Structure 1
Amino acid sequence: MIYPSGRAVWAAAAGAIPAFLIALALPSFWYLGLLWICILLAFLAVDAAAGRGRASLTASLSAPPQVGVGGRFTLHVAASLGGRQSALQARVGHDQRLAPVAGTGGAALPANGGTLDLEFDALRRGIASFDRLWLRWRGPFGLIWNQVVLPMDRKVAVLPDVRSARDEAITLLQRSALADGHAQRRAGQGREFEALKDYQPGMGRRMIDWKRSARHGKLLAREFRVEENNNIVLAIDCGRLMCEPVDGVPKVDRAVTAALLSAFIALKGGDLVSLFSFDARPRVSSGAVRGSPSFMMIQKRAAEVDYSSEETNFTLALTTLAAKLDRRSLVIIFTDFVDPISAELMLRTVGRLTERHLVLFMLMKDAELEALADMAPATPEDVARAVTAGGLLRQRQVVIGRLRLLGAHVIEADHQRLGPALVERYIQLKEENLL
């Protein structure tokens, strides 16, 4: 694509004044005023021919593979024009997850190739992409712009900000006495054998190892610990209802933060963790990983949990998930629902899932509905809104009650307490040997 530069426009405007004066002074020689236009067109043609060089154009984008939400990073644009001494200007196309600090380009690269550094702020979690690169350069006379649009496929994973989650996880670990990230070793808790110790008054008789006691001539008791290697599945609903904002942040983002917090705790405790997301169909499915170093992989896969406007298909998603589980697992489902009718298919699928696995539903309290239901009415419209909100809340409790009757555990917590509430229940389930 070629088009005239500002210099060509000003040159054409400057030639119009002498042509007008010639036409006024010498009406019979008015055609001499066209001479400047012909000369300018000739220069434009030469400039356009000399400025071509798309075949020798090379360009690339370089950016960090990942960045945290709210972080700032630098995109490096490198381009050259086959050894020509032409200054290139560049501009990049990006999605809404990123915001340019000072525009998306336009500054000139050094002649004969160079690098242009552009700064971006990461606004929202997900996989951000740079899909296009505009490059333009002028001909020898500076009268013509030559512009090309190059398709690019550079992606940057905008990861959830886990700094606060890490701090909170460390606090919860210390509170629960999970020293060095290992399972709790409290006598009488758990079913995994740990060691033998001398029997002390107050210990239960079931802890006595009678065979070894007879062999050593003294009472010995078995010490157990909470089991490791439990399979934990974090299933995140990213459908339409979960993309609604709560206090300015989408529910799915709050679910991802809570899931990462629990994943950090579970990996520290020696359990296996996998991530699963779904809307109308399964989206993200990571394999089970173990150990603290694997948390980075879970964090990267969490960035792939995208926002969706589709209705959630619980039947397809949970059936697919159940088919992938070859052992008893703790399935933690982050979701939301409105009424029993919309949740009917979910309830049928959950009934089959609880026959083999331990299912835990994580729900966020609907602060907006609760505020409407508790608001003092001043007009008939306020009364109607309060009655409607109260009805929706009662229907929500009906679904929660049916989930509990099916054997599922349900936590309905405030959006700011979602992560800690999940971790506390997870530790409680381990101590009660329910995993």
Structure 2
Amino acid sequence: MTKSLKNLWDRFLFQGRGILPSRRLISIFIILSLVLLVLSFGNLSWWAFIFMNVVLFLVSLVDLFFSPKKKDLHFKRHIPDEMERNLSYKVQIDVTNMSTYSLSFTLIDGIPQSFQSTFPMNGRVDQLITSTLEYETKASVRGEYEITMLYFRYSSKLGLWKKQMTIDLTNKIKVIPDLTETKQFLENAQKYLLFEGNKIRRHQTGIGDFSQIRNYVVGDDPRKINWRQTAKLRQVMTNEYEPEHGKYITILIDCGRMMGAELSKGNRLEKALEAAHLVAAAALQNGDYVSVLAFAKDVKVFVPPAKGMAHLQTILHSIYNVTVDSAESNYAAVFSFLEAMQKKRSLLLLFSDIRTFLYEEHALLYLERLRQRHLFLMVGIEDVTLQMRTEEKPESVQQAMIKSIAQQQMLFKKKEKIKWERQGLVMIEAKEEHLATAAVSHYIDIMNRNLL
């Protein structure tokens, strides 16, 4: 295909710049040609047939003078800089018509294919005004995107010809994980955790950082009375403690091949990122230091420990575009890296596939060394298919074989988990919709019990 033919084909595909005949004009030509063709079987000559078509074509060109010039049209796109995955957002496009002619238009925005939307969109702009077109879109794949093009086709009142424009409008968008659960937790942490059966409790008496000495009030624990200050001031004074802050939380996110397994909504990595962000928010709100490490075959992202809610944005912008690798995860290399980087005692919270992790014998050697300094907790997603296979009632020999293999896998998993937990390496599994809740609940439980 030559360059000129390719440009013409792109123009009909709503790309490029140029002028195209409208359906109305093509319909008029077809009807007129059919009428003249019938008449040509009579006394009408072919020259008259050609002449009348040429006249109609030249007359139709007058319609172009009653449509706005391209330099009189201005465009602006309003789209959020950050969009959460699978959440709907509104995008507005302002079309300003500076000419004295009104127009009808068809528009296609050049958003990536992973964004869901309905195009083309139709509208109308009167003379000397700005019209706003609005549509909704949602992004299903995390990452950084750049929208550069806007395709616009418009016609005048008669609508015989259409002018086509390709406008260069550049917008950069970051698609981040779904933060719905994080927002719910920050609004009301206790209400968010109630259905899980876990509550945010006060620390034990005398445990925590000393805060202040104040007057004793009814309901205070008598064991916290400060008798020295009571005797000095001749009124009952009590010590007040606040929960210990400044603990170190290290969140490990597995990005290996098995984390790409599809779930009912997204894959395992998507759920792990959402849960990791929720735990980071809970820890930072509690005044702890949080570091994040994403890995697969090698370390992909490492965010050094820091405290304060501002650090949550640093974590989010560092891990929002991590993807699943095709290679298996190298746990030994990651634990060796962590042993060199994290010198202070911390809670190691690993989001990974427990079944795959249990086959890593070399990882156990590194974890036994890490356990001497750190507290380890692994969180994974339940294998719904495996659970369903073990519970179904077999009705054939093949189903019985499948069930026996599934039960064998379940027994192996339980046996290996017991072996690891005897070494002080706690592993838990949760359903995909409760992964974030289970992770933050266990974090709160560890803090409440002062295990760290």
Into which bin does the TM-score normalised by the smaller protein fall?
0.7 to 0.9
SS of alignment partner, residue 155 of structure 1: strand
Please name the residue that 1:171 is paired with: 191
Deviations 1:72-111 (A, max 9, x none): 43211124477574634322243566544x6552323444
Deviations 1:18-73 (A, max 9, x none): 4314422226x322100123234445677679979667764331023446667543
Cα distance in 1, alignment partners of residues 409 and 189 from structure 2: 34
Residue 153 (str. 1) matches residue 171 (str. 2): yes
**Would you say the 8 A contact 2:22–2:160 is kept in 1?**
yes
> Matched residues in 2 for 1:115 and 1:353: separation?
62
Instruction: Give the conservation status (yes or no) of the 8 Å contact 1:18–1:33.
Output: no
Alignment pair present for 1:108 and 2:108: no
Partner-residue secondary structure (3-state), 2:427: strand
SS at match of 1:119: strand
SS at match of 2:272: helix
> What's the CA shift string for 1:275-310, capped at 9, x where partnerless?
444445555555545345665x37954982565363
Q: Indicate conservation of the 8 Å contact 1:193/1:222, yes or no.
A: yes
**TM-score, structure 1 normalization:** 0.74
Aligned partner (choices 120, 126, 129) of residue 136 of structure 2: 120
> Would you say the 8 A contact 1:75–1:119 is kept in 2?
yes
Tell me if 1:254 matches 2:254: no
Structure 1 counterpart of 2:205, from 184, 187, 193: 187
Query: For structure 1, which runs of at least 5 residues remain unmatched after alignment?
Result: 179-183
Q: How does 1:230-249 map to 2 (within 5 A)?
A: 230-246=247-263, 248=265
* Cα distance per residue 1:152-174 (max 9 Å; x no partner): 43426463312554567223789
How many Å separate the matches in 2 of 1:85 and 1:26?
Answer: 43
Offset of residue 123 of structure 1: 6.8
- 2:180 is paired with a residue whose SS is coil
Structure 1 103/224 Cα, relative in aligned 2: closer, same or farther at 3 Å?
Answer: same
Cα distance change of structure 1 residues 294 and 13 upon mapping to structure 2, 3 Å threshold: same
Q: How does 1:19-168 map to 2 (within 5 A)?
A: 19-26=36-43, 29-42=45-58, 58-66=74-82, 72-80=88-96, 83=99, 85=101, 87=103, 88-95=105-112, 98-100=115-117, 103=119, 105-111=121-127, 114-120=130-136, 122=138, 124=140, 126=142, 131=147, 132-138=149-155, 142-150=159-167, 152-155=170-173, 157=175, 159-162=178-181, 164-166=184-186
Which aligned pairs between 1:6-17 and structure 2 lie closer than 5 A? 6-17=23-34
Tell me the equivalent position of 1:263: 280
Identify the residue that residue 381 of structure 1 maps to in structure 2. Answer: 398
For residues 65 and 373 of structure 2, the distance between their equivalents in structure 1, rounded to whole angstroms, comes to 73
The answer as to whether partners of 2:91 and 2:137 remain within 8 angstroms in 1 is no
Alignment equivalent of 2:387, drawn from 335, 359, 370? 370
Query: Offset at 1:355?
Result: 5.7
Secondary structure of 2:41's aligned partner: helix
The amino acid across from 2:191 in the alignment is: T
Say which SS state the counterpart of residue 162 (structure 2) adopts. Answer: strand
C-alpha contact (below 8 Å) 2:85/2:175 kept by paired residues:
no
**Contact 1:413–1:421 under 8 Å retained in 2:** yes
Alignment partners' CA distance in 1, 2:125 and 2:367? 59
Amino acid at match of 2:398: E
Give unpaired runs (5+ residues) of structure 2: 1-10, 12-17, 215-221
Q: CA deviation at 1:369?
A: 0.7
Are 1:314 and 2:330 counterparts? yes
CA contact 1:369–1:389 (8 Å) conserved in 2: yes
Name the residue aligned to 2:440. 423
Of 10-19 and 340-349, deviating more is 340-349
Per-residue deviation, 1:120: 1.5
Determine helix, strand or coil for the equivalent of 2:385.
Answer: helix
Query: How has the CA–CA distance of structure 1 residues 18 and 224 changed in structure 2, closer, same or farther, with 3 Å as cutoff?
Result: closer
**Cα pair 1:257 1:419 within 8 Å, conserved:** yes
Distance 1:400 1:254 in 2: 22
Instruction: Please report how far the alpha carbon of residue 333 of structure 1 lies from its aligned counterpart in structure 2 after TM superposition.
Output: 1.2
Q: Distance in 1 between matches of 2:336 and 2:60?
A: 66
TM-score calculated relative to the size of structure 2: 0.71
How far off its partner does 1:386 sit?
1.2
Is 2:251–2:292's contact at 8 Å kept on the other side of the alignment?
A: yes
Cα distance in 1 between the residues matched to 2:72 and 2:328: 49
